[in-house]
């Protein structure tokens, strides 16, 4: 059985003015144990919204429209956020939310924030001392000055130390699966590398084994992911192996994304930088036809009328009738 199954998941925000924003539409995929799936797409395409939906965390204004998410066969939909926090988060699936390193409680030391995560699931089996020892052993794996980091308030740490602490805390209970939302954005390049190395070190040590890695930087995924899903205006438009997406993209949006990546390659710097003209469509109403049609260099008249569904092209999925 697949570890993680997502079936036709659609999510919307309901604003105070009664307006619906259809932020995620018809996302389906499955993941097997040990797999690393990258999800990439431009800002506002629905990546962070999807993460909350994948965890079953529906906190207004976010709502489930339809669909299902199952972890080892168990559905996460239509459950109380409290139930999700107590029985799913940190243990089965752990989330590293976007910007989390800036959201650590500033009034508490790292060791106390981490202590609470273990304590909440420990049912009084271990003493305080035993829990702190376990914390120290775990933090020793992260390549930082364990004592200093654990005894600091978040503000006393560098951004990289804070992010490594967040990842460390999120994985304390050895969740099978981690969903990391832009875990390296807002970090400088050197720190990004350190954080990526830490994540892969934890994977190698078996602290977790399955991961969704979300980023707006496609090049990062090339070295990280087994498969990549490309997201546009709330939909997955292409899902394939990393090689398929990077070297042989089929959806015109993936092709455009790869083109803009190549143009930043120094070897191609004499070429004109590639940008995708225009903006994604508004998500407040139903969109007739293909969502990328307005910006697509290969658009045909039918594209603006016919809704595009995900379909198999070889062994990958593409949401374009003309992907061949
Ligand atoms: N609380 C909210 N209420 C209403 N609309 C929202 C809310 N949060 C996000 N949205 C909208 O949902 C859509 C998807 O946003 P989301 O944050 O998921 O995108 P993203 O891909 O994570 O972007 P980024 O790369 O900038 O993190 C956007 O149109 C956004 O404006
Ligand atoms: Mg986001």
Out of 16, 19, 21, give the residue to mutate to test ligand 1, the one with the largest number of ligand atoms within 8 Å of its CB.
Answer: 21
Point out the residues of the chain with pLDDT beneath 70. Answer: 1, 261-274
Q: What is the pLDDT of residue 54?
A: 97
Q: How far apart are CA 34 and CA 13, in angstroms?
A: 32
37 forms beta bridges with 212, 227
Q: What is the pLDDT of residue 273?
A: 47
Per-residue model confidence as pLDDT tens digits over 304-318: 999 999 999 999 999
Ligand 1 atom with least separation from CA of 21: 5
For residue 145, is it left (φ>0), alpha (ψ between -120 and 50) or beta?
A: beta
Ligand 1 atom with least separation from CA of 231: 21
Look at ligand 1, atom 18, and give the residue with the nearest C-alpha: 46
List all residues whose CB is within 6 A of at least one atom of ligand 1: 13, 15, 21, 23, 41, 43-49, 61, 98, 216, 283
pTM of the model: 0.94
CA 317 distance to own-chain centroid: 19
Per-residue model confidence as pLDDT tens digits over 221-279: 998 999 999 999 999 999 999 999 999 999 999 999 888 765 455 555 444 445 788 89
The structure tokens listed for 130 are 């035993």
Q: How far apart are CA 4 and CA 118, in angstroms?
A: 24
Q: What is the pLDDT of residue 124?
A: 85
């Amino acid at each position: 059985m697949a570890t993680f199954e997502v079936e036709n998941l659609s999510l919307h925000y309901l604003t105070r003015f009664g307006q619906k924003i259809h932020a995620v539409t018809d996302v389906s995929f499955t993941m097997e144990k040990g797999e690393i799936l990258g999800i990439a797409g431009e800002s506002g395409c629905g990546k962070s919204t999807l993460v909350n939906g994948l965890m079953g965390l529906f906190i207004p204004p976010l709502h489930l429209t339809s669909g299902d998410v199952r972890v080892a066969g168990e559905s996460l939909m239509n459950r109380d956020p409290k139930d999700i926090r107590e029985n799913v988060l940190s243990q089965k699936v752990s989330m590293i939310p976007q910007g989390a390193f800036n959201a650590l409680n500033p009034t508490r030391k790292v060791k106390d924030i981490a202590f609470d995560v273990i304590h909440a699931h420990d049912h009084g089996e271990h003493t305080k001392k035993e829990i702190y020892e376990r914390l120290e052993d775990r933090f020793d794996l992260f390549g930082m000055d364990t004592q200093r980091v654990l005894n600091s308030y978040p503000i006393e740490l560098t951004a990289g130390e804070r992010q490594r602490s967040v990842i460390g805390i999120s994985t304390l209970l050895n969740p099978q699966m981690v969903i990391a939302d832009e875990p390296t954005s807002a970090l400088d390049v050197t720190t990004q590398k350190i954080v990526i190395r830490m994540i892969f070190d934890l994977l190698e040590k078996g602290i977790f084994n399955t991961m969704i890695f979300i980023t707006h930087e496609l090049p990062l995924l090339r070295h990280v992911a087994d498969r990549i899903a490309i997201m546009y205006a709330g939909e997955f438009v292409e899902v394939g192996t990393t090689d398929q997406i990077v070297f042989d993209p089929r959806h015109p949006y993936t092709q455009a994304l790869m083109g803009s990546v190549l143009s930043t390659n120094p070897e191609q710097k004499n070429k004109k930088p590639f940008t995708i003209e225009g903006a994604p469509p508004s998500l407040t109403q139903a969109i007739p036809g293909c969502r990328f049609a307005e910006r697509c260099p290969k658009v045909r008249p039918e594209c603006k009328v016919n809704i595009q569904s995900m379909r198999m092209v070889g062994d990958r999925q593409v949401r374009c009738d003309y992907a061949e």
